[in-house]
Structure 1
């Protein structure tokens, strides 16, 4: 077994960050100048701007427009060593992070920012037929299935099979599900009609399936109602109060109703990563680690857990949402705690989430926004949503490219990233 050594001075306090998402990168950014040496470990080599992942899945943006190599992002930080590796376990007694190749990294302080994965509520076999959306690989798989369905329908002579190919089911009416369903409907009814000769893509059926009574349950009811009406105007069929009972390769079962469908997308639930099991910590039903007020693990003050991996409550008892601003705030807070400990100064107050509001898009020209007491909807909300997301992108070039892609799509009604890629085994899916 081999310990991986850092290129920086070994006597500095060593902070190991697992996960290069919003929380992990913010912690690294906030630790600048702290005198620590930092090792970032991530199983992928890029930082992903997840709020726009659905746009890569639905042909509006190319994957390269919402992801950046971690080494490039951190190129000006000689105090940071980046490792592309899969974490297998953590030995909390010897303070070692074990990697998939049998090597390990020793830490003084450990920050776990490993995010979340899909939850199929005990039906993991559904994943084969109903992929979720968490990674670039997920986005390209979903985009491939959507576009391939139209291609298969174009050469299909069986009317029943053609209808099944042109039926798209999105399960879960949270922000991701609503955004996916809206864009798929616009793709079918406004973007693709002139591209095909044997089919009318406007006949596509886009279903948004939700077990609860309304879409976007986290928003005020008036905004949820507006969202539902907007989606219906786009051509989305809402199936509310409907529970999915099975997902097949060619159908989705909703209660006792089996709907022929070749493209199913899962947006109904998330489960925290396995980080809680690595450190043998207490966790909630979703696998999120129960942390102390400073976001450290009880009885393990040298370990912090942030982002979607942590179970954190607000002052009113409601859980902190699993959104990018929350993860970034947690990363910044943990950095303050670490710096205060190393300096022997006063520790910061317990973590308190500052709600920056909530937004969701409804197709390419409408959105809703809830900023506490101020609510917005329609085109103006869409522009504010766009400006906010462009602002948080990394780098001037990325902002310019995404802004141009959106403007092109807005003005022309066309999406540019409509390329079908084959899976690694070369077999169509």
Structure 2
């Protein structure tokens, strides 16, 4: 690829895209490798899963984001190994890609805490495929309930369990609450909205762990007003095709969604460097790994402490800031400038709970309700990549807000062969 340095970026999420955008005008060759050909705005995946948005609203082809540029390549592939010594990454298909600088931003996956058999019955929400699968499950359940005259037989199909009380779990439970209690129920005649049951299950003593107690409590109250039963201190002991079990009882339902805990990408173990208990790599102040100053790990895959000694959260703003920092670092290094340390600027955390309901903690200022929801909406529109997507999502949200209508509710038979959507 000529004399210029070759920067290989693994992962087309917030972190990887930020590095590439920062380096776009630099004298380097860039190769981005990702398992899919698109950048996905994960914070809004639950809105695809609950039929509020379409996949195209929150996913943009990586090539479309970065545009054309000499020396820029986008490869569709799964990286399985990193060879630090010989400076190459190996792909699943046997291809090897050499690097001068390597940025690993592979994101995270859901952690089933050793119970991998649960994954089949309780899908997580990390990809468009996941979101569409969950959406199909929810819609099929409502269709099955519509066919059953006996309320007792209908009950499992009108019951929804979200496991994990973090932002994704809270947003998911709130969105299902809105659908089940208001929006979609007008379409069905056999059952009423009062028959639906929604549970948010959390093993810890409170939901939204890491948020101030007052906002956590506010979120719980808001969810319960929306008809969601919040079960804290309730670890899950078993999941089957149509049941979630706890130490004290069980809930019968095929509608189980996993949003509890994440583990870092298995690729990171090939780095043979120190990892925390969830698999994240401990990085230096400049985000490189110990002993290899040209290999960097960022985003959900990196364990980096803030000024208070706590690990930085697995959130989009962290990955974006780290990506920009790394882009600048590589640019400066090419000009023989000294490296600096990464410092995260915390601009606040927020979670939406439903229509015009959210909680936010912005630099110590706490907001909830409609104002927090407006803040959340503005921030998410701002982070969306591409004008078309921003405009379209804004129009969709306003339409939903004023009309209470949901988006796409088509069942397209996306289920895998081991599931039977028919009976």
Q: Which TM-score band applies after superposition, normalised by the shorter structure?
A: over 0.9
**Structure 2 counterpart of 1:342:** 334
Q: Name the TM-score, length of structure 1 as normaliser.
A: 0.95
**Structure 2 counterpart of 1:159:** 151
What is the deviation of 1:158? Answer: 4.1
**Structure 2 counterpart of 1:3:** none
Alignment match of 1:27 (pick from 16, 19, 27): 19
**Structure 2 counterpart of 1:4:** none
What is the deviation of 1:223? Answer: 1.1
**Structure 2 counterpart of 1:280:** 272
Distance in 1 (CA, whole Å) between partners of 2:24 and 2:121 is: 44
**Structure 1 counterpart of 2:345:** 354
Q: Does 1:80 align with 2:72?
A: yes
Q: Does 1:266 align with 2:230?
A: no
Distance in 2 (CA, whole Å) between partners of 1:98 and 1:424 is: 31
Task: Kindly indicate whether the alpha-carbon contact (under 8 Å) linking 2:149 and 2:190 is maintained by their aligned counterparts in 1.
Answer: no
Distance in 2 (CA, whole Å) between partners of 1:381 and 1:366 is: 7
Distance in 2 (CA, whole Å) between partners of 1:330 and 1:233 is: 38
**Structure 2 counterpart of 1:391:** 382
**Structure 1 counterpart of 2:190:** 198
Distance in 2 (CA, whole Å) between partners of 1:424 and 1:94 is: 42
- Give a deviation string over 1:275-332, Cα, whole Å, max 9, x none: 3212222111100011111000111111000000000100110110100010011111
Alignment of 1:218-257 (within 5 A): 218-257=210-249
CA-based RMSD of the aligned residues comes to 1.3
Task: Kindly indicate whether the alpha-carbon contact (under 8 Å) linking 1:140 and 1:421 is maintained by their aligned counterparts in 2.
Answer: no
What is the deviation of 1:425? Answer: 4.6
**Structure 1 counterpart of 2:123:** 131
3-state DSSP class of the match of 1:422? coil
Gaps in structure 1 of 5+ consecutive residues: 1-8
Distance in 1 (CA, whole Å) between partners of 2:70 and 2:349 is: 36
Task: Kindly indicate whether the alpha-carbon contact (under 8 Å) linking 2:348 and 2:363 is maintained by their aligned counterparts in 1.
Answer: yes
Task: Kindly indicate whether the alpha-carbon contact (under 8 Å) linking 1:275 and 1:309 is maintained by their aligned counterparts in 2.
Answer: no
Alignment match of 2:94 (pick from 102, 110, 123): 102
Q: How many residues align?
A: 420
Q: Name the TM-score, length of structure 2 as normaliser.
A: 0.97
Task: Kindly indicate whether the alpha-carbon contact (under 8 Å) linking 1:193 and 1:202 is maintained by their aligned counterparts in 2.
Answer: no
Q: Does 1:370 align with 2:396?
A: no
3-state DSSP class of the match of 1:362? strand
Task: Kindly indicate whether the alpha-carbon contact (under 8 Å) linking 2:79 and 2:267 is maintained by their aligned counterparts in 1.
Answer: no
Q: Does 1:302 align with 2:297?
A: no
3-state DSSP class of the match of 1:37? strand
3-state DSSP class of the match of 1:44? coil
- Give a deviation string over 1:371-410, Cα, whole Å, max 9, x none: 1221111101101110111111112111111011101111
3-state DSSP class of the match of 1:133? coil
Higher mean alpha-carbon deviation, 339-348 vs 281-290, is at 339-348
Gaps in structure 2 of 5+ consecutive residues: none
Task: Kindly indicate whether the alpha-carbon contact (under 8 Å) linking 1:276 and 1:282 is maintained by their aligned counterparts in 2.
Answer: no
